[in-house]
Structure 1
Amino acid sequence: MTKKKSESGGIGETLRTVLYAILIALVLRTFAYEPFSIPSGSMLPTLMVGDYLFVSKFSYGYSRHSFPMSLAPIDGRVFASQPERGDVAVFKLPSDNSTDYIKRIIGLPGDRIQVEEGVLQINGDPVEREKLGEGMVRSGGYPIRISEYLETLPNGVTHQIWERGDDELFDNTPVFTVPEDHFFAMGDNRDSSQDSRSQNVGFIPEENLVGRAEFIFFSNNGAARFWEIWKWPSAIRFDRIFQAID
């Protein structure tokens, strides 16, 4: 009888421990940091396919999208804080409010954003970009030539961007005036990014912001499957682990 009670108590204690662990993880994921993975090359060269990063949920305050499946009954944002120009942010795609996108915040409420011959214009002024060089990369299995630039936003934030050319699909746009409580986001891989320049994305409502990308905690190049342990050392990008996201 004592043995059965002991076994029952042990199972109950284990279940409680697992439940507490799940609750703690859920709280941390909701209010502190949430992990995300990068599935596409739209943010190259800043973020690579196979990067795993942490996003701070508290950076912009909380909305219903801060919670799993966006189920929280929150209207707007609480403890709201506006993103800074140049932040790399995760947000819910406005057209479905469920798909996660990650782009760079370029335009703030009231800004006028335009691209002319590949050069970003903010409020009528061209953004400074310095050419760093050219190179060949693979996209969709095919080699393409890209030019790499260092772009400097009006608030002094600098980041690298890629351009295939200055006459691609979104290299000449109308003027976009960012509405109140909305933001304009663009990918760093300018000619391979569906972002606010596209009707499929458009302006980002403030409540759709999920958080700010902070740092990469793991990265792999996809050359090794999970069970191919012997390939892990060559597949892991050790130089990107714990790299801050600028």
Structure 2
Amino acid sequence: MAPGRPCDHDRAGGGGLRGRAALSDVNAPRPRRWWIALILNAIFPPIGYAYAGAWKTAVATVVLLLAGTVAANYWTLANPPGVYVFGQDGVLYGALALGAFLGLHAAAIAKSAPARGGRPSRLALLYILPWAVLFVANLLYSAYGPHPTYVMSSGSMEPTLRQGDIIIVDGARANCGGAGAKPGDVVVFRRPGTAEPLVHRIVAGPGQSVAMRESLLVVDGKPVRRWAMGSETTPDLAVRATELEEVLPNGARHTIYDLGTDADLDNVAPVTVPAGAWYMMGDNRDNAADSRTFGAVADRDVCAVVRKIVWSKDKSRVGREP
């Protein structure tokens, strides 16, 4: 063996020492950085608490945030506007303020927390766990919670619902069908091939015939009762709309807008609503694409019944039922 040349045993031993030293460095205790806890908890609560070693606080935060979401939803239903007192922007700013508070709290805990050893990759997975539970639970509640909210994106339901109104409903987003709707109800429904849910009023049910005769709704061969209440200026039309109260055969009353008798959908031939389906119409009769254009809607596609307006630019309308 040549002088000065390390043998295989020496190389193996040296490599083993370096490996143990590297492993020791990885597992060495590291201080909890307060600014990391702040950022984590502000954006992804309660990861910051887990990072700071406050596991009881992390678990309590998950429970309180979930319970608070449910309570806020029911409070909004019972006492509109509830969390929407300042509209959607208010909800967003409130969430940002809560995130800032949680971040500062985690930062304060991290400052006095003892150092923690362990592989960073394993610790990261451990820290993410409570946030993952919270995230999945929120997704499930958003999809299957009984009283979701929607924002009106058009004026097709004026004067009952206006563009920008926030409404709360009975019926989960992901569980359409079996909403228990009836003629006169304003419902959220889906159409195959349409991304956004639609909102219209049911004017007739299975087995009933529906027609339009010079802008007058005809159900089962009889014109529905209606009378003028005045006229309104609408922001998206140059002419004034006549406001009428309309009464369906089952006694349900609602208000509609009408612009005359010569619009494209003011005269529609009689059709019979199929079994297990509903005939939908917008209250803004001359500014709505409804069952007059796409036909009756199957009950399996009716997702929810609208309960109340929980936010509107016109504060006097908050809390109204449609």
Using the size of structure 2 for normalisation, the TM-score is 0.58
Structure 1's 7 and 194: CA in aligned 2 closer, same or farther, altered over 3 A? closer
User: Secondary structure at 2:51's aligned position in 1?
Assistant: helix
Tell me how far apart the structure 1 counterparts of residues 179 and 235 of structure 2 sit (CA, whole Å): 38
Match of 1:119 in 2: 216
CA contact (8 A) 2:171 2:179 kept: no
Tell me how far apart the structure 2 counterparts of residues 16 and 53 of structure 1 sit (CA, whole Å): 34
Match of 1:86 in 2: 184
Q: Which has the higher strand share?
A: 1
Tell me how far apart the structure 2 counterparts of residues 7 and 23 of structure 1 sit (CA, whole Å): 20
Matched, 1:156 2:270: no
Q: In structure 1, what residue type is equivalent to 2:239?
A: I
Tell me how far apart the structure 1 counterparts of residues 127 and 147 of structure 2 sit (CA, whole Å): 26
Tell me how far apart the structure 2 counterparts of residues 54 and 24 of structure 1 sit (CA, whole Å): 20
> 1:16 Cα deviation (Å)?
4.5
Tell me how far apart the structure 2 counterparts of residues 187 and 108 of structure 1 sit (CA, whole Å): 15
Q: Which has the higher helix share?
A: 2
Where do 4+ consecutive residues of structure 1 move more than 4 Å?
A: 1-6, 10-17
> 1:56 Cα deviation (Å)?
1.5
- Deviations 1:132-174 (CA, angstroms, capped at 9, x unpaired): 01232231xx521210000111111111000001221111110
> 1:129 Cα deviation (Å)?
0.4
Structure 1's 168 and 214: CA in aligned 2 closer, same or farther, altered over 3 A? same
User: Secondary structure at 2:234's aligned position in 1?
Assistant: strand
Matched, 1:209 2:285: no
Tell me how far apart the structure 2 counterparts of residues 238 and 24 of structure 1 sit (CA, whole Å): 33
Q: Which runs of 5+ in 1 are unaligned?
A: 59-64, 68-75, 221-236
> 1:35 Cα deviation (Å)?
1.7
CA contact (8 A) 1:109 1:180 kept: yes
Q: In structure 2, what residue type is equivalent to 1:29?
A: S
Q: In structure 1, what residue type is equivalent to 2:224?
A: V
Q: In structure 1, what residue type is equivalent to 2:271?
A: F
> 1:244 Cα deviation (Å)?
3.2
CA contact (8 A) 1:138 1:144 kept: no
CA contact (8 A) 2:188 2:200 kept: yes
CA contact (8 A) 1:97 1:208 kept: no
Tell me how far apart the structure 2 counterparts of residues 116 and 182 of structure 1 sit (CA, whole Å): 22
Tell me how far apart the structure 1 counterparts of residues 262 and 127 of structure 2 sit (CA, whole Å): 61
Structure 1's 81 and 216: CA in aligned 2 closer, same or farther, altered over 3 A? closer
User: Secondary structure at 1:169's aligned position in 2?
Assistant: coil
User: Secondary structure at 1:161's aligned position in 2?
Assistant: strand
Point out which structure has higher relative CO (alpha carbons under 8 A, 6+ apart). 1
Q: Which runs of 5+ in 2 are unaligned?
A: 1-27, 33-49, 55-123
CA contact (8 A) 1:28 1:34 kept: no
Tell me how far apart the structure 2 counterparts of residues 131 and 110 of structure 1 sit (CA, whole Å): 29
> 1:36 Cα deviation (Å)?
0.8
User: Secondary structure at 1:33's aligned position in 2?
Assistant: coil
Tell me how far apart the structure 2 counterparts of residues 208 and 4 of structure 1 sit (CA, whole Å): 55
> 1:240 Cα deviation (Å)?
2.8
Matched, 1:173 2:261: no
Pick one of 290, 293, 303 that aligns with 1:195: 290
Alignment of 1:66-105 (within 5 A): 66=174, 77=177, 80=178, 82-94=180-192, 96-105=193-202
Tell me how far apart the structure 2 counterparts of residues 163 and 207 of structure 1 sit (CA, whole Å): 30
Matched, 1:49 2:163: yes
Q: Among all aligned residue pairs of Structure 1 and Structure 2, give the percentage whose two residues are the same amino acid.
A: 28
CA contact (8 A) 1:186 1:196 kept: yes
